[in-house]
Amino acid sequence: MSDNTVREPIQKRSIEKKEKIIKYGFELICEKGYYNTNTAEIAKAAGVSTGIVYSYFTDKHDILLEGLKRFANSIFYPSVDFINDIEINENNLEQIIREIISKFIKNHKLSKSAHEEITAMAHSDKDVANFFHENEIEMTNVVTGLLKKNGFESKDLMERVHIVIGLIDNICHETVYHKHKNINYDTMTNIVINEIVHILTK
Amino acid sequence: MSDNTVREPIQKRSIEKKEKIIKYGFELICEKGYYNTNTAEIAKAAGVSTGIVYSYFTDKHDILLEGLKRFANSIFYPSVDFINDIEINENNLEQIIREIISKFIKNHKLSKSAHEEITAMAHSDKDVANFFHENEIEMTNVVTGLLKKNGFESKDLMERVHIVIGLIDNICHETVYHKHKNINYDTMTNIVINEIVHILTK
Amino acid sequence: MSDNTVREPIQKRSIEKKEKIIKYGFELICEKGYYNTNTAEIAKAAGVSTGIVYSYFTDKHDILLEGLKRFANSIFYPSVDFINDIEINENNLEQIIREIISKFIKNHKLSKSAHEEITAMAHSDKDVANFFHENEIEMTNVVTGLLKKNGFESKDLMERVHIVIGLIDNICHETVYHKHKNINYDTMTNIVINEIVHILTK
Amino acid sequence: MSDNTVREPIQKRSIEKKEKIIKYGFELICEKGYYNTNTAEIAKAAGVSTGIVYSYFTDKHDILLEGLKRFANSIFYPSVDFINDIEINENNLEQIIREIISKFIKNHKLSKSAHEEITAMAHSDKDVANFFHENEIEMTNVVTGLLKKNGFESKDLMERVHIVIGLIDNICHETVYHKHKNINYDTMTNIVINEIVHILTK
DNA sequence: CATGAATGAGAGTTCATTCAT
DNA sequence: TATGAATGAACTCTCATTCAT
């Protein structure tokens, strides 16, 4: 998005300003929705003038994208670094997945509206869509590599991991939002976890 | 103020007009996005005046909702009536699921942008979200009933069906959109089908 | 206002229809204000179609005027016929005026919003203004004549009567609406009555 | 949604702009009527864009109200400051009232349509009505105080003053507008003046 | 660098009036 | 005669973007 006419701030105060616009702008967009947030509000929330916004960003859309780059990971993918430090094997796999899901759900609950709004944009805005596609494939690669390092040898492991990520996304979303009264989400989660183990170890 | 009741057209030409507004309006919304489609365009596409739109609908949002009611099923859930006429058992289950996925994908491809835009709205618009939640639970119930009738006796069958629907949604979407170059979608589909069978018959 | 293109209904049912439009249309206009009442509402209230309204009236404004002709007198000038049957003299004048004011106020209270809306129109709409000017002068003439018949011989009686009518209008309006908390309206009314007697009998 | 605060202009040019909108907007409203004046016209007359209008005013109605605050006094109550500097007594009272009426009429004639339109609004718009009620009571208080200071000791002086203000309003309006051909307005004015003297000195 | 006033196109919606039936 | 669907200009108000200071 950003092109040459958009200043790349060098001085410290400028950088801070840009960061504030991204932070508070993205925050507002997540809370109220992209179309229900206007640039004046963003500027106000960031403590800058409306004019200066257009020195750092080509347009409103650009703020969204920059916000994504900064914050999407922390919103969508909570830190699960602990899996780097332990040995994953068929015995502790179930427990690890359970913990990951638990962390994802906790995260999801923390920023429900952000999750929804950004998911919505991911389905209606090309740039946002691309961002997430790239993120997903990267995550798939990382997890696949990790599992391989830990001795998982399933055929088509990458495809399996991709399916698993989808399952986790889905169960989290279901648990946080849907609350269909006849569905027991704990039960559902247990089944999903079993299934994930099955996919990865078969 | 004005009489807010929305006319329920009785005469044939009126009904046709209302239908046209729904059809072309929803079409435009799906193609260009809800926020990028204005009422004047909708009226023009439907071959009517802007004023008459507000005789049949309370507002622009209402057109979206009516469009959903009319077309969501055909967009999201292609006719899979054939499963009503055959006996489903563990032997043909895999084949049936494969056919269902195939149909869903075909459907999905036919109206890619509609799928995306409506999915987006389902994540940002309360009414659209409700619509889909209700649809989903209904579908879960119907499929669960069908399987029970055919002798499937898994514990927590409803939860399993719900997971399966999520898996199908996901694999279709993946297949139609993502095209991550390192992922083999045929392989992925096969794994998903196996997994679905596993979930339902375990 | 009405011109040749507007049908003068001859048949009984037509006349009834026209009357209903006038009655219910004027009623709505008085209740909600001319600009807040639309022709569709008027037609609905009158139980006719919107189209037929334009067979009997040149436009919306015409309905207002016809309504005025039919109902303004009863709204603004309650029947004070009793003064035709009694002899007015300096002894009973005060009592008669008191009764007239009392009747006017009662009337005023019965149709507060009508009073206000029509008074507003009388100040912003030429035709309505003319209507009231004519009414006022006629009333001035009638009352002047009546007083003369009863032996009142003040110089410039017509001008005096005109002032008196203004005073009555004013005290009624004050009593019904203003309610300035520091003003005693009973006291004010008594003073006005004394003054009217003074004007007419000096 | 958007930030609804209305900007309070600080810079000189902004203040001028706001004043222009009030001046020309109110002028148009007075000339053509509130409902027959649109925001585009107001903006054009003030030499600004339509958008900026909504930076300074919450809505069209707000312009009317601000206009009232600025101009109502000069339209409705011409400066009669001279009465503060002279001693009012029963000997010069008649002459003073005559001068006041003369000034009011002169004023009234200068802005006939404004007078009428605003009077109309005072009967159909709650905020305008309140504005005038408050103005009236204040004027009543001021005049009552002035007369008391000058030794007028009538019982119920406030009520008397209130009646007098009504009489003055009325005679001015009559003189400027009605022109009923059979009424002699000079005569009528003389009678009114006598009556006012009578009310205040009795 | 920064401001925030200013722009003006465009949004959704209403409604007096017309006209095909 | 009568209907009420249809028109489309006009309305108020918003907001991404620009620009004078």
The 3-class SS string of chain B reads CCCCCCCCCCCHHHHHHHHHHHHHHHHHHHHHCCCCCCHHHHHHHHCCCHHHHHHHCCCHHHHHHHHHHHHHHHHHCCCCCHHHHCCCCCCCHHHHHHHHHHHHHHHHHHCHHHHHHHHHHHCCCHHHHHHHHHHHHHHHHHHHHHHHHCCCCCCCHHHHHHHHHHHHHHHHHHHHHHCCCCCCHHHHHHHHHHHHHHHHHC
**Predicted local distance difference test score (pLDDT) of residue D9:** 57
Looking at the structure, tell me whether residues C138 and C168 fall in a common domain. Answer: yes
Do residues B100 and B181 both lie within one domain?
yes
Whether residues D116 and D187 share a domain: the answer is yes
The answer to whether residue D104 is domain-embedded is yes
CB contact under 8 A, C36 and B1: yes
D182 with C158: Cβ contact below 8 A: yes
Share of chain A above pLDDT 70, in %: 96
Q: Are residues D61 and D98 in the same domain?
A: no
Do residues B109 and B28 both lie within one domain?
no
Identify the DSSP state of D196: H
Same domain, D177 and D190: yes
Q: Quick one: how far is CA B111 from the chain centroid?
A: 10
Instruction: List Cα–Cα distances, A176 to A185, B190, D70, in angstroms.
Output: 10, 29, 56
- Tokens in use for B45? 């596409």
Q: Is the CB of A13 under 7 A from strand E?
A: yes
**Distance (Å, rounded) from C-alpha D104 to C-alpha D111?**
11
Query: CA-to-CA distance for A171 and A178, rounded, in angstroms?
Result: 10
| C38 to chain B: closest CA residue | B2
Question: Mean of the pLDDT values across residues A59-71?
Answer: 96
| Domain around D25 | 12-71
For residue C2, is pLDDT > 50? no
CATH of the domain at C49: 1.10.10.60
Whether A7 is in a domain gets the answer: no
D82 and D53 in one domain? no
Radius of gyration of chain C (CA): 20
Whichever domain contains D196, its CATH number is: 1.10.357
The CA-based dihedral angle spanning residues D62, D66, D72, D75, taken in that order and rounded to the nearest 10 degrees: -100
A60 CB inside 7 Å of strand F: yes
Average of per-residue pLDDT across A123-145: 93
The pLDDT, as a whole number, for residue B76 is 86
D129-161 pLDDT, tens digit each: 999 999 999 999 999 999 999 999 999 999 999
Q: What is the mean pLDDT of chain B?
A: 90
| Contact, C54 CB vs strand E, < 7 Å | yes
Last residue of a domain, one of B71, B86, B117: B71
User: Residue A76's closest CA among A176, A200, A159, A191?
Assistant: A176
Same domain, B51 and B87: no
B49 touches strand F (CB under 7 A): yes
Q: Is the predicted pLDDT of residue D14 greater than 90, yes or no?
A: no
Confirm whether any atom of chain F, the nucleic acid strand, is less than 7 Å from CB of D86.
no
pLDDT for C5: 59
Asked if D180 lies within 8 A of C136 by C-beta distance, the reply is yes
- What is the pLDDT of chain A when averaged over all its residues? 91
- Which residues does chain D have within 8 Å of residue A41's beta carbon, measured at their own beta carbons? 2-3
**Does residue D182 belong to any structural domain of this protein?**
yes
Q: Which residues of B touch A (CB under 8 A)?
A: 33, 35, 116-117, 119-124, 133, 136-137, 140-141, 156, 158-160, 162-163, 166-167, 170-171, 174, 177-178, 180, 182-184, 187-188, 191-192, 195, 198-199
Report the predicted TM-score, pTM, of the whole model to 2 decimal places: 0.89
**Amino acid, single-letter form, for residue B69:** K
Percent of chain C with pLDDT over 70: 96
Q: What is the pLDDT of residue C28?
A: 96
What is the per-residue pLDDT across A149-191, written as a single tens digit (0 to 9) for each?
999 999 999 999 999 999 999 999 999 987 788 999 999 999 9
* Whether residue B10 has pLDDT greater than 70: no
Of C24-28, C74-78, D140-144, D169-173, least confident by mean pLDDT is C74-78
Structural domain includes residue B96: yes
B12 is near strand F: CB distance < 7 Å:
no
The answer to whether position B106 is within a domain reads yes
The pair of structure tokens assigned to D19 is 């004043």
Q: Please provide the distance, in angstroms rounded to a whole number, between the alpha carbons at the two ends of chain A.
A: 44
Instruction: Encode A135-148 in three state secondary structure.
Output: HHHHHHHHHHHHHH
pLDDT digits (tens, 9 = 90+) for D83-116: 888 899 989 999 999 999 999 999 999 888 999 9
User: Could you tell me if B64 and B106 lie in one domain?
Assistant: no
From the CA of D159, how many Å to the C1' of E9? 56
Q: How far is the CA of C51 from the C1' of E19 (A)?
A: 9
- Which of B120, B160, B163 is nearest residue A124 as measured by Cβ atoms? B120
Which amino acid makes up residue B44? K
Q: How confident is the model at residue C15 (pLDDT cuts 50, 70, 90)?
A: confident
Counting the structural domains of chain D, the total is: 2
Largest pairwise CA distance in chain A: 58
Is residue A6, in this structure, part of any structural domain at all?
Answer: no
Least confident of A33-42, B43-52, D124-133, D170-179: D170-179
pLDDT recorded at residue D180: 86
Residue B97 beta carbon within 7 A of nucleic strand F: no
Helix (H) or strand (E) holding A189, with range, is helix A185-201
Of D71, D97, D114, at which residue does a domain stop?
Answer: D71
With CA of D13 and C1' of each nucleotide, the nearest comes out as: E5
Instruction: Of A82-91, C89-98, C152-161, D109-118, give the lowest mean pLDDT range.
Output: A82-91
Q: Cα(D196)–Cα(C192) distance, rounded to whole angstroms?
A: 11
Percent of chain A with pLDDT over 90: 73
Q: Identify whether residues B82 and B67 lie together within a single domain.
A: no
Q: Which nucleotides of E are covered by protein (CB under 7 A)?
A: 1-20
- The proportion of chain C whose per-residue pLDDT surpasses 90, expressed as a percent, equals 76
Residue B74 sits at φ, ψ, to 5 deg, of -70, -25
Q: Model confidence over D33-65: pLDDT tens digits?
A: 999 999 999 999 999 999 999 999 999 999 999
d(CA C149, CA C152): 7
Query: Does A2 have pLDDT greater than 60?
Result: no
Q: Which residue of A has its CA nearest to B33?
A: A124
pLDDT digits (tens, 9 = 90+) for B18-72: 999 999 999 999 999 999 999 999 999 999 999 999 999 999 999 999 999 999 8
Same domain, C99 and C125: yes
CA gap D150, D162 in Å, rounded: 18
Cα C1 off chain centre by: 20
- Domain identity same for C129 and C155: yes
The Cα–Cα gap between D168 and D78 comes to 13
Q: Is residue D3 part of a domain?
A: no
Tell me the average pLDDT across A49-67.
96
pLDDT given at position B146: 93
The residues, ordered by sequence, that sit 6+ positions from A190 with a Cβ below 8 Å of its Cβ are: none
In this complex, the residue of D122, D177, D188 whose CB is nearest that of residue C163 is D188
Position C3 in a domain:
no
Instruction: Output the pLDDT for position D57.
Output: 97
Contact (Cβ atoms closer than 8 angstroms) between residue A95 and residue A134: no
How many angstroms is C1' of F6 away from CA of B52?
6
